[in-house]
Chain A
Amino acid sequence: MELYLYLALFSPLVSSLFSALFTATPKKQFTGIVASGLIILAFVSSTILLTHILSGGDVVHVELMTWMATGDLYIPFGFVVDQVSVTMMMVVTLVSSVVHVYSIGYMDHDKGFNRFFSYLSAFVFSMMILVMSDNFAGLFIGWEGVGLCSWLLIGFWYHKESATWAANEAFIMNRIADLGMLIGLFLVYWNTGTLQYEQAFAAMPSLSTDILTWMGIFLFIGAMGKSAQFPLHTWLADAMEGPTPVSALIHAATMVTAGVYLVIRANPLYDLIPNVGLFIASLGAFVAFYAASMALVNRDMKRIIAYSTLSQLGYMFVAAGLGAYWVALFHLMAHAFFKALLFLGAGNVMHAMHDELDPFKMGGLKKPMKATFIMMTLASVALAGIFPFAGFFSKDLILEVSIIEHHYIIYSVLLFTAGLTAFYSFRLVALIFHGEERYKLFGIHPHEAYKFMLVAMSPLLILAIIAGSFKMTYFEMVTALLPATEYHVHSVAMYWIMTIGTQIFVILAIAFAYKKYAMSPVTVPDGTSKMENRLCYKILINQYYIPYIYQEYVVKPYRELSTIFWKEIDMKIVDASVDGIAKIFYSTGENTRTMQSGNLSTMLKWMVAGIVALLSLAVVFGLAVRYSDEIKVILSGLGVQ
């Protein structure tokens, strides 16, 4: 089994290095094929490990080598395949295999084809380290690795100003959160003396609640950055500047769920501090609603899906915060499938529409792009949570958890958000695929994506439909590691009322979206309609003015402060002192070079002067040594020493 573990871990690295060899050369089709092959190899290895774990096999635990060993500190490069990490491995390798194959078609005409695959595989490698590590240090390496790859990939089209800006924003936001994460890790090490999950969690129950609370808070700050929770959420929507396969893989399916994974992994810690858990759940519910509301009015296809991701991450945090870790992981898995599918579908649409992102300028695309239409509709159905699609099982479960735990406010927020989710998903589908063919006004002739791209997407489609049926198998597997709380509403009648009620509510929202955007004529908004001038619309389209506030009250003052530091402190103190030292050497040289007149007499005079100086020094020291006692007496008389 260890062989498969190493294969799953290192074949993405090999893939990345192989593609990296060709980054400076023109597009080579085989880099894409080799990279995809290696990622699929990792996927197959993960599947073998999954069957091993499913059939009741032992947890695979290897220690590759010692990384740090000084004194009491011992951190190995250790990797573990247990019930939780194998689930993550499956999600990561499956989605990345699909995205790799898809990218061969999507990046077909791009100059940076080889470079793209190198980055993408490097991301998969970092993500595998993140999920497979058996200690916090390894997790942190992966954590930073995915952050770096995310930066590289958001800014993949680096000649675009907006792309580099978005990449830097994402990186800096994550860096702020990573500081919190690091403090959390230091607290763990300080108090438990180890970073290995097992020992650290075993030592935690004996610690005081205060320390545990701080640990939980700081680790969660790290999770907030990676999973783009409020108030560190603005980077995720801007990250859509990257190529669409990147959005599908990194900013929907895998990297952004790392925060959820961290909370799930640290479940023994969060179980001890239910207050922090409640905070996480409340923040999650808030973000779920907050992001969904922004998606309602947005006019950028990818941003709508990004807000939807944000909203779904909120759902996951609600489940994780309320202690239903396996539910959170289940929703993470189901969400990865349909959200990646949705993004890849959006990528097809973008290709067809020549990078047009405004769904109001599309319409009626279901005829030329039938397969994409079906896939995106089914993915949206799954996202909305209609029976029997994947989203129904995982999302309904989260709603049930919140009602069973008696958090009725969270429940109602989530229920309402479910309606919003259905509305904005189908608003998007209706605007893109139904109604009049508005794209004709812009002279675009849409075409369906390559066949193999559609075939590559099909596994995601199948999983988006059937993932829900794995619920019991999955439950039995992961509860070997996670708290096995089964969530059943107490009375059967109530369960049915809740489920059917939710379903009807969601279907009504879908019907409303269709009525508004598919049945009635839609015009491209130009800022004159009544709705666009309403206050709430303005708030939503401007993302609650949060980016504006950040720009005005954080970025600008910081910039001014930096300018002050640059001009006043750096130039006047630091630079001045460094330059001053250099000037001393220059001027001494300049002033003493007259000494070197070449005249023997002058040189001899200097020599004599030097001898006299040295001799007198020798005499002074000699006298000082000889009369040291007397000097001490005099000095003590003066009060020195």
Chain B
Amino acid sequence: MEIGLNHYLVLSTILFSIGLVGVMRRKNLLMLFFATEILLNSVNIAFAAISHYYGDLTGQMFAFFVIAIAASEVAVGLGLLIVWHKRHGNIDLEYMSTMRG
């Protein structure tokens, strides 16, 4: 069986769902970052696959952009995370509720 576009898209969807559930369920900020990475990379897979399917490089270029942005986001995010940990001694989402209305 040849691996076609649909397989990639199904894989992307599965990864996206996993990421989404992770974003919703995880209470640890670090795990949240991981889940976000999974989400972004599932999209990257879809971009690359569709780009290959149409023979158009735009999608792959977008994937590169997303990777770059994700890297910087993680860099900033991790920095903040460390500061937070130094101050409060934990990185549990349940305690980050200063925005409570």
Residues of A that sit less than 8 Å from B by CB: 593, 596-601, 604-605, 608
Contact = CB atoms under 8 A, between A and B. Distances in A.
A605 B93 CA distance: 13
Interface stretch (B19-27, B50-58, B62-70, B77-85): B19-27
B27 A601 contact: yes
Interface in B15-46: 20, 23-27, 32
B81 to A, nearest CB: 13
B98 to A, nearest CB: 6
Contact of A604 (B23, B94, B97, B98): B23
A600 B93 contact: yes
Contact of A600 (B20, B25, B96, B101): B96
Contacts of A604: 23-24
B101 A593 contact: yes
A600 B20 CA distance: 14
Contacts of A601: 24-27, 93-94
Task: Report, as a range, how many residues of chain B touch the other chain.
Answer: 10 to 19
Contacts of B23: 604, 608
A599 B97 contact: yes
18 contacts: A593-B101, A596-B100, A597-B97, A597-B100, A597-B101, A598-B96, A598-B97, A598-B100, A599-B93, A599-B96, A599-B97, A599-B100, A600-B96, A601-B27, A601-B93, A604-B24, A608-B20, A608-B24
B98 A598 contact: yes
B3 interface: no
B99 interface: yes
A606 to B, nearest CB: 10
Contacts of B20: 608
Nearest to B100: A598
Contacts of A608: 20, 23-24
Which 5 A-B pairs give the minimum distances between C-beta atoms?
A: A596-B101, A598-B100, A598-B97, A598-B99, A600-B93
Contacts of A593: 101
Nearest to A596: B101
A596 B101 CA distance: 5
Contacts of B94: 599, 601
A600 B26 CA distance: 10
Nearest to B23: A604
Nearest to B98: A598
B36 to A, nearest CB: 10
A593 B93 CA distance: 20
Given A605-B24, A608-B23, A598 B101 contact: yes
Given A598-B100, A599-B100, A608-B23, 6 more contacts: A596-B101, A597-B101, A598-B98, A598-B99, A601-B24, A601-B25
A593 B99 CA distance: 12
A220 B16 CA distance: 85
A105 B99 CA distance: 75
Contacts of B100: 596-599
A605 B21 CA distance: 9
A592 to B, nearest CB: 10
A586 to B, nearest CB: 15
A605 B25 CA distance: 9
A605 B98 CA distance: 18
A600 B24 CA distance: 9
A613 to B, nearest CB: 15
Contacts of B26: 601
A616 to B, nearest CB: 15
A597 B24 CA distance: 15
A92 to B, nearest CB: 70
Contacts of B93: 599-601
A598 B101 CA distance: 7
Contacts of B101: 593, 596-598
A597 B100 CA distance: 5
A190 B25 CA distance: 76
Contacts of B25: 601
A365 B26 CA distance: 106
A32 to B, nearest CB: 66
A258 B49 CA distance: 92
Contacts of A598: 96-101
Nearest to A603: B99
Nearest to B21: A608
Nearest to A592: B101
Contacts of A605: 24
A597 B96 CA distance: 10
A614 to B, nearest CB: 15
Residue in A596, A597, A599 with the greatest tally of chain B CB atoms within 10 Å: A599
B93 to A, nearest CB: 5
A115 to B, nearest CB: 55
B43 to A, nearest CB: 14
Nearest to A595: B101
A453 B94 CA distance: 91
A143 B101 CA distance: 61
Contacts of A596: 99-101
A588 to B, nearest CB: 14
Nearest to A612: B20
Nearest to B94: A599
Nearest to A594: B101
A452 to B, nearest CB: 77
